[in-house]
Amino acid sequence: MPGPFSILLAVLAPMLCGAGGLLLPRRLIGARVGLALLGPVVALLLLGTAIAQHGLDGVILSAPWMPEVNLNIAFHLDRLGLFFALLVAGIGVLIVTYARAYFGPNPDDLYRFYPSLGLFMTAMLGLVLSDNFILLLLFWEMTSISSFLLIGWERDDPKAVKNALQAFIVTGTGGLCLLAGLILLGVITGAWAFSELSPQLITPDGLTIAAFVLIFVGAAGKSAQWPLHFWLPGAMAAPTPVSAYLHSATMVKAGVYLIGRLWPLLAVAIPLWPALIVPFGTVTMVLGAYIALRKSDLKQIFAYTTVSQLGLLMTMYGLSALEFKNQPNLIWDISQILNHALYKAPLFLLAGAIAHVAHTRELPELKGLYHQGGQARIMAGLMILAGYALAAGPLTVSFSAKEFFFYQIWHGYEATHHPGFFILVAAGVATGMFNVAIFVRLTRVLLGSSEVKPAQPPHPPGHDVHGQHDYRAPLTAGLLEQAHAQDDGQMDTHGHGGHAHGHGGHGHHDHHEAGFWPTMLWVPAALVIAVQYIGGIIPGAWEALFGRIEAGRFYFSHFPMTWDAHLGVPLGMSVAAMVLGLLLGFAPVFTRTIRDIHDGIFPAFYTASTQGGGWAFRLVQTGNARTYLAVIFVSMIVLIIYALLAGPKAVIAGWHDIIEDDHFRRAAPEYFIGAVVCFAAILLPIVKDRASRILVLGTVGFGVAGLFYLYQAPDLALTQISIEIVSLFLFLLVLGLLPQATFGRAMRFGPRLVISVLAGGLIGWLALTSSSGPRPPMPYLKADTQEPFAHLGEFFLRNSYEGRDGERGGGGGNVVNVILVDFRGYDTLGEIVVLGLAALGVWTLLRRRTLHQSTRALRLNLDEHHARQHAHHRPARSHVPERSDGA
Amino acid sequence: MSTIILRTACRLLVPLSLLFAAFIYFKGHQTPGGGFVGGLVVAVALIVHRMAFGRASLRHLIHVRERSLIAVGLLLAAGTAIVPLFLGIPFFTSTYGYLPLPGTDEKFEWATVMVFDLGVVLVVAGVVVGMINALTEELE
């Protein structure tokens, strides 16, 4: 396959394999897992082939897609992109395996899960490999959509749906900002791909800075930067495989990836770069680590440490702009990112695994898990090892990574001597301290003295809900749902037990499996943690495994490991963080759980927007068709008159040509048909009966069809006749559904007459002038005579059958059809899509209308108690009057 | 509306209309006609059939739901646009050629956009029949 298409196939493979799984019979679990594995494996193989062929030095493989709108299938095979792609596909393999163990041998869950996961993998692979801006945006939006499906996995749980919506709206809004930012950047620089962009093209003027700010907002939304970070802990409502995949290794890194992609291009050129990124990153970093310490649910703790780590990575890229003694202040950034994936993914995987065997993820209830033996002992041990990496203890890659970050801060200070760096130093130490404290507390609980679990385990203050959960039957019953229900525990205010067993897709927790698959709950985690320690203890191993992906490795002979840490301030910061963290871990402060105050942002926004929307709806939707038409026509009249007064005068000059035009002098049957049409049109408002009006309207339509025929446009005549027949049917049917009475206050006759005459007169006059006035010359030249075309029609006529003017021909004698399906094929494609959507809309509306009385549409309501109290007597807010005999 | 006159006329008119629709679709690239009109004629024929013989009979005649027609139509249209990409030429590039008709000297001129046009036929027919069907059901 030529160039980009093997990469395109690698990108699409997970999605295709996932979709293929839908065709398999539900019972074939083995085949389904195999097919789902095939996706990332094919991607890995194809990417490996590409690396072998092109190396790591940023080959661009490109094919035109829609060059007119700067959209090309262009992939950039450089270190950063390939690293992310390999990470996505590699961890993807582990997640597919883990998901099989997590969901158990239940056909329904896997049937639904793997296609969504495949879609997400494809989106992520495409995102990190795209070179073209627009292509990147397509995949960016795809990650938002597919993560919505995955986060809202428990689709019967209103809280999961709410959290999915929250994640979607935050990342989607960020995506819109990114769209604006990248398009602005493309328009300013003329470069529509990362590889075309260079620092020389960037001038730090207002527009470029606006573009950069918009891009940063998009990246910050996706990568959960304060104050938009709240969606990430909320997204923990997803099943653990999703959390481990999306929220540790892949999706939340998309924003970091984007900033990492842009820093060599923009960091030095735009002075705002460090000033904007570093503060937000730092606040996120400290705040995330602090809240993590004050959470009790394992997934919540790790979610907030992820937020913290994302803040750290952003800060790292923010500091990259500060060069010092001609040495870049950013090296080994990929190792920094990889390091996070290497301890965070195992932590999430193990959190899910522990919930599987211990039936809870609340930290206080896991006391002494290590002493329970068997699987629990392995998992607890592995979690302590991974937690040690979270704390950035010596002998892990994480330690070196944190050292590097501290070094970077100090380096930045030396470069600028800005006093703000002392805040940064304190923030770095504080973050390290919180992480160490989290590890200490985690270890203390897991290794604590084993005790018999009380029937009603003690709850930390603020956790009044979970006492309702049933712990009577360990190893049976769908206890995992309870673990799900405890997601985001402090907000969980509804009893969950009843629903957990209610719906069909959840028979899978009813028994534990034995044999191979349960070990898959912890084996993927163990494999990943091993890399942390191997890399931390043997620097050469890390160098051999991952050295090649670092462009900056030439500045140092190898990744500075434990034994040659930077003496001086960075090491001092590390030591301070560890000592303080140990003290904090054992100190009886910060032990109560708190809720993140930012959790209120989205509900407030949601309420404001729905209420504002309702207010606007009541303002605009009066229910009176005449008012709507009047608004539309008045706007149109104003716009046309404005254009005539302010626009080029050429339009007005056409009047003379109309009088001179041949057609007007020619006595012809069209006068007769024209008179009929006019007569029918005047009759229209006079006739009162609706059915008669439709017939009169039909007369107008058929008359126009006759005119088309006389003017030698049989195509138009044929279409017009068919349309008239169909709309006759439609009108007659719709009439039967319309109420007889009119609603709302009717407008008076005078204004209506003025609006009608103005609108009709202007449109008629525009139609006349636009078809006979002089036109601006066409930019195209005729190939044989080199003269410009007089109008577009001439161009189409010459090129309809075979191309004569440098254009390829459409191969059709019927120029109208060639225009529709070939020259203007895009338009037609768009039109039929709109047509299909309109039909779907009609169906949905009619269905809702029919269902209205019997069932009420599922409404998402943030205040569930409120919903429960009022759900059965909420008044219908419909302004469409219901016929009592309807349906 | 189902009178014996309509039913009798329908038996003759519906096949003829469908034939005519096929004719204007195939000739559409060279002479007046095309996918949009073709789709409308198909839709009118099917609606008349529905009026004469009822909904069950229409279901029996075309076997598929209208929304499937729309989906297949959109897939065909989008597919025509996308396939050139995999041959390394821009989106929506079309081509045409000639197919000798056996037994005559005539040649049928085909074009890849005819697939696109077929998509238009299906979407238009699906939308019109589907909407009218839904509205009629609402009334019945």
A6 inside 8 A of chain B by CB: no
Nearest-angstrom CA–CA distance, B55 and A72: 47
Q: How many CB atoms lie within 10 A of CB A673?
A: 18
Residue of A nearest to B109 (CA): A811
Q: Do B91 and A714 touch (CB under 8 A)?
A: no
Nearest-angstrom CA–CA distance, A693 and A684: 6
Tens digit of pLDDT for each residue in A834-855? 999 998 888 888 877 666 544 4
Q: What is the pLDDT of residue A473?
A: 34
- CA of B16 vs chain A CAs: smallest distance (Å): 15
Nearest-angstrom CA–CA distance, A191 and A514: 57
Q: How many CB atoms lie within 10 A of CB A738?
A: 12
Strand partners, A76: A60
Alpha-carbon distances of A759 from A1, A654, A704, A769, rounded to whole Å: 57, 19, 19, 15
Q: What is the pLDDT of residue A833?
A: 92
Q: Do A722 and B44 touch (CB under 8 A)?
A: yes
Residue of B nearest to A72 (CA): B90
Give the residue from B135, B136, B140 with the most A CB atoms within 10 Å of its CB, the best one to mutate.
Answer: B135
Give A717 or A356, the one with higher predicted confidence. Answer: A717
Q: Do B127 and A839 touch (CB under 8 A)?
A: yes
In B58-87, the residues whose Cβ lies within 8 Å of chain A are 66-67, 70-71, 73-74, 77-78, 81, 85-86
What does the DSSP assignment read for A773-785?
Answer: S--PPPS-B-TTT
Confidence of residue A775 (pLDDT cuts 50, 70, 90): low
Model pTM? 0.70
Written as one letter, the residue type at B58 is L
Nearest-angstrom CA–CA distance, A809 and A800: 5
Tens digit of pLDDT for each residue in A650-667? 555 455 555 555 555 565
B129 inside 8 A of chain A by CB: no
Name residue, tokens 């969606």.
A231
Among the listed ranges A15-24, A508-517, A760-769, A859-868, which one has the minimum average pLDDT value?
Answer: A859-868
Confidence of residue A558 (pLDDT cuts 50, 70, 90): very low
A394-408 average pLDDT score: 80
Cβ–Cβ < 8 Å for A237, A189? no
Q: What is the pLDDT of residue A656?
A: 55
User: Helices A539-546 & A333-358, crossing angle to 10 degrees?
Assistant: 100
Name residue, tokens 């059958």.
A801
| Residue A852: φ, ψ to 5° | -55, -45
Give A471 or A421, the one with higher predicted confidence. Answer: A421
A193-206 average pLDDT score: 82
Residue A268 reports pLDDT greater than 80? no
Q: Which of A723, A733, A812 sits opposite B135 (nearest CB)?
A: A733
In A779-818, the residues whose Cβ lies within 8 Å of chain B are 808, 810-814, 816-818
Sign of the Cα torsion A91, A95, A97, A101 reads positive
Those residues whose C-beta lies under 8 Å from the C-beta of residue B100, and which sit 6 or more positions away, are B106, B107, B108
Q: What is the pLDDT of residue A771?
A: 65
Residue of A nearest to B70 (CA): A836
Q: What is the pLDDT of residue A458?
A: 39
Residue A366 reports pLDDT greater than 50? yes
Among the listed ranges A222-226, A402-406, B8-12, B45-49, which one has the minimum average pLDDT value?
Answer: A402-406
Residue B16 reports pLDDT greater than 90? yes
Q: What is the pLDDT of residue A293?
A: 85
Residue of A nearest to B87 (CA): A2
Please calculate the CA angle A813-A815-A816 and round it to the nearest 5 degrees.
130
A8-18 average pLDDT score: 88
Q: Do B35 and A821 touch (CB under 8 A)?
A: yes
Q: How many CB atoms lie within 10 A of CB A311?
A: 28
Q: What is the pLDDT of residue A206?
A: 83
Residue A269 reports pLDDT greater than 60? yes
Q: Do A718 and B37 touch (CB under 8 A)?
A: yes
A732 inside 8 A of chain B by CB: no
Q: What is the pLDDT of residue A303?
A: 86
- CA of B95 vs chain A CAs: smallest distance (Å): 7
Residue A428 reports pLDDT greater than 80? yes
Give A681 or A655, the one with higher predicted confidence. Answer: A681
Q: Do B91 and A811 touch (CB under 8 A)?
A: no
Q: What is the pLDDT of residue A659?
A: 54
Nearest-angstrom CA–CA distance, B79 and B92: 9
DSSP code for A492? -
Q: How many CB pairs under 8 A join A and B?
A: 159
Q: Do B29 and A817 touch (CB under 8 A)?
A: yes
User: Helices A374-390 & A333-358, crossing angle to 10 degrees?
Assistant: 150
Q: Do A814 and B33 touch (CB under 8 A)?
A: yes
Which burial class, exposed, middle or buried, applies to A555 when counting CB atoms under 10 A from its CB (0-12, 13-18, 19+)?
Answer: exposed
Residue A381 reports pLDDT greater than 60? yes
Q: Do A821 and B41 touch (CB under 8 A)?
A: no
Q: Do A725 and B113 touch (CB under 8 A)?
A: no
Give A276 or A590, the one with higher predicted confidence. Answer: A276
Among the listed ranges A405-419, A619-633, A815-829, B55-69, which one has the minimum average pLDDT value?
Answer: A405-419
Cβ–Cβ < 8 Å for A366, A358? yes
Nearest-angstrom CA–CA distance, A792 and A20: 46
Among the listed ranges A547-551, A699-703, B13-17, which one has the minimum average pLDDT value?
Answer: A547-551
Residue A389 reports pLDDT greater than 60? yes
| Residue A418: φ, ψ to 5° | -85, 130
Alpha-carbon distances of A695 from A687, A699, A724, A729, B50, rounded to whole Å: 10, 6, 10, 11, 22
Q: Whole-number mean pLDDT of chain A?
A: 76
What does the DSSP assignment read for B45-101?
Answer: HHHHHHHHH-HHHHHHHH-S-HHHHHHHHHHHHHHHHHHHHHTTS-TT---EEEEEP
Residue A479 reports pLDDT greater than 60? no
In B2-21, the residues whose Cβ lies within 8 Å of chain A are none
Q: What is the pLDDT of residue A343?
A: 86
Q: What is the pLDDT of residue A452?
A: 44
Cβ–Cβ < 8 Å for A701, A724? yes
In A73-102, the residues whose Cβ lies within 8 Å of chain B are 73
Residue of A nearest to B46 (CA): A726
Cβ–Cβ < 8 Å for B33, A814? yes
Nearest-angstrom CA–CA distance, B42 and B22: 9
In B85-124, the residues whose Cβ lies within 8 Å of chain A are 85-86, 88-96, 109, 111, 113, 116-117, 119-120, 123-124
Among the listed ranges A241-250, A315-324, A506-515, which one has the minimum average pLDDT value?
Answer: A506-515
Give the residue from A71, A138, A721, A722 with the most B CB atoms within 10 Å of its CB, the best one to mutate.
Answer: A722
Task: Look at residues A254, A323, A313 and name the one whose alpha carbon lies nearest to residue A281.
Answer: A313
What does the DSSP assignment read for A617-646?
Answer: HHHH--S-HHHHHHHHHHHHHHHHHHHHHH
Residue B24 reports pLDDT greater than 50? yes
Cβ–Cβ < 8 Å for A196, A208? no
Task: Look at residues A381, A379, A399, A400 and name the one whose alpha carbon lies nearest to residue A391.
Answer: A399
Estimate to the nearest angstrom the gap between the alpha carbon of B101 and the chain centroid: 23
Residue B86 reports pLDDT greater than 50? yes
Question: 3-class DSSP state for residue A251?
Answer: coil
A121-128 average pLDDT score: 91
Please give the share of chain A, as a percent, with pLDDT higher than 90.
7
Q: Which two tokens stand for residue A408?
A: 């970077």
Residue of A nearest to B93 (CA): A822
Q: Which of A726, A813, A825 sits opposite B128 (nearest CB)?
A: A726
Q: Which two tokens stand for residue A720?
A: 């017009």
Confidence of residue A136 (pLDDT cuts 50, 70, 90): very high
Q: What is the pLDDT of residue A446?
A: 81
**Global ipTM:** 0.90
A684-711 average pLDDT score: 87
Tens digit of pLDDT for each residue in A50-84? 888 887 777 888 887 877 788 888 888 888 888 88
Please give, one letter per residue, the 3-state secondary structure of A400-448.
Answer: HHHHHHHHHHHHHHHHHCCCHHHHHHHHHHHHHHHHHHHHHHHHHHHHC
Alpha-carbon distances of A193 from A124, A132, A259, A453, A607, rounded to whole Å: 18, 4, 15, 59, 39
Residue of A nearest to B110 (CA): A811
Cα dihedral angle (A597, A599, A601, A603), rounded to 10 degrees? -130
